[in-house]
Amino acid sequence: MSQFDLILLGPPGAGKGTQASRIAADYRIPHVSTGDILRAAVKNQTQMGLEGKKYMDAGELVPDAVVIGIVRERLQEPDTAKGFLMDGFPRTIPQAQALDAALDDLGRAITKTIVILVDEEDLVKRLTGRRICRVCQAPFHVNFNPPREEGVCDKCRGELYQRDDDAEATVRNRLEVYRSQTEPLIDYYDRAGVVARIDGAQSPDEVYASIREVLGPAGE
């Protein structure tokens, strides 16, 4: 059976979270979002959450050592044996190197890095209008992807909220951080020959169709 050791890469607001749940369900691999893990830690007021919150609220990256620790631990879980979908990780060259080393220890390597590309002004509109389910983390948008009932999640009826880091000034800083620290990863994975670029300006269904074309059938 084919191995799906996948990374979803792209700027904040490109639609990584929107696509991730569909990919994870269809390819039966766990969705590993370092952003979701960090936000859960903030909510539960763990040491890591308290430490991470100040970086997240400013739109800065949480230190590499913290997120690398999260992912190393996550890769110990048996559900990642047949593959995984990394969303929001890696975000720096040291994170990518740490992931490669951890996979190498397991005799594995990234099979595909899906890069979702969207123009910067569209990203600002997407993020400032985004609403997220408090319960299942599903993303909605007040204009582009509105829930059937205002303020309520279609999937689980959870309450929708706006992320603290989706204020416009913070969004602009996150985009700057992406350009300087994360975009170089496209070259890094290009050198490994595993990059597939996807036009993220299409509708969510069209983006998903493009991703399926790249990944091929889910297998048995």
Q: Distance (Å, rounded) from C-alpha 179 to C-alpha 93?
A: 13
Considering 72, 163, 197, 212, which one is annotated as catalytic?
A: 163
The amino acid that residue 7 corresponds to is I
Q: Is 179 a catalytic residue?
A: no
Binding positions for ligand AP5, rule: CB under 6 A: 10, 12-18, 34-35, 38, 55-56, 59-62, 67, 88-89, 91, 95, 126-127, 130, 139-141, 144-145, 165, 174, 203-204, 207
Q: How far apart are the first and last CA of the chain?
A: 7
Q: Which stretch binds Zn ion (CB under 5 A): 21-29, 61-69, 137-145, 189-197?
A: 137-145
Name, in order, each residue with C-beta under 8 angstroms of 215's C-beta and a sequence gap of 6 or more.
4, 6, 23, 27, 112, 114
Q: Which C-beta is closer to ligand AP5: that of 31 or that of 112? A: 31
Q: Of 16, 39, 53, 112, which is the active-site residue?
A: 16
Judged by beta carbon distances under 5 to 8 A according to partner kind, the member of ligand AP5, Zn ion, none in contact with residue 13 is: ligand AP5
96 is a site residue for Zn ion (CB under 5 A): no
Catalytic residue set: 16, 91, 130, 163, 174
